Structure 1
């Protein structure tokens, strides 16, 4: 591409204990954006790293005097979703690149491939590794896609590009975004996924804190963005209502045809009526909760300690 792009582009990257690759990532991203865009910014979100991640970023950013590099420090570990919400809120670009990790297992040229694809009319274009997903990830997305509305099938993603239109739309849908990929997919705007052949393996696994966060996020996402929890609850309450009704019928039949102990029939009928009413109430409550979740999701807030403008 000979002529640089005129639009303003923001790159937001999530960093958590990535001292071995954060600096390298920043260099590569800077080179790609410098060679292809007239105006751009880079925002690194440090999610309370316990290693030298922020120092590695500062060392590289010190030599990047012709662009803006911001290092956003989260007050404490808050996970990728709230951290990236904070970074995206700070971004001012016409397009925003979201990097869920600074470990690059793809060629730098893929970034521009994703951008050029977005110019074909897609508000969201994501990049996913073509390699086979881990069993836990594959199982989660299989279950998620079964219960989620829409035709777009989600899978593991490394990064994505968003137009300002999709950012404005999801912001109007919900003040904070509990699971970005699901909200983007539900935005109703054109979306596309591109797969790439991996050029290397990821350097590190997740620490216990991040692993626990991801598991909780998966469970919350299944409840918030699919109908699986609602359908399971409704069906179970209906089944229990039927069982309670059958208990009442059995008690009446046994009373007429058998020789029950005095008070037994009355007790069983009362219990059957009580359980029938209880599960009927639970059905209504589950429905109300489902409506509330669909309207407001969960009210989450992120808290930022400080923002450092490393370069001017």
Structure 2
């Protein structure tokens, strides 16, 4: 596995692969790799000749400095993980490399970034789109792989790729879950044993809403109320938002009749914020 820390090194490697007619799959991560990342890498390996993984904890997308400082970092474990997975190249730039002195240009996302995460994490998606754009320009991938757990992020990045005419295909990979339904996340490692046990309520609330929808309930307000009641049964869970929106436009829906809607939630356990979503489809 080749390891690069500078953009010109990474770009040169990628250009060599393209010249040799090898397709490149790219998996951007912030490290603390887990089985969700494993699924992304495996999917990329199935689709592409070469796979690049990046590890960079992007300060620009954290609205809370303490969250940035506490984000789990296990570089040696991540290196072993990628080696064992057969990753072809690992890109691990430093903050100073990504944002050198004088850096001042940012990507400004549009309306898709405004609701939900955009309300509660000011500047988050500007940070995400800026770093992803830089990573695309460095790794030069044919395809890039993102987890469906971050549904709004996926939509915002797809919009950026269209708007900027970027030559990369965005591939959505299904959320990987624990047996009790909890979506895999690097932040899960910060949960106490009590919080970890309680956190499965997140997916349970989503499943109950989907079941109600499949049984004929089309009122968003009623489905949200059902999910809120599930979360209220867990004293440790503090709901930040529960929203139902059109999966193509990210616009909030009052009534679900077309069957292309998603329910998304953000729930706190102590100082740890977890997000998840579920498609409301037949």
TM-score range, shorter chain: 0.3 to 0.5
Q: Which of these two proteins has the greater Rg computed from alpha carbons?
A: 1
What is the TM-score when the length of structure 1 is the normalising length?
0.30
Which has more helix, going by share of residues?
A: 1
Structure with greater contact order relative to length (CA < 8 Å, sep ≥ 6) = 1
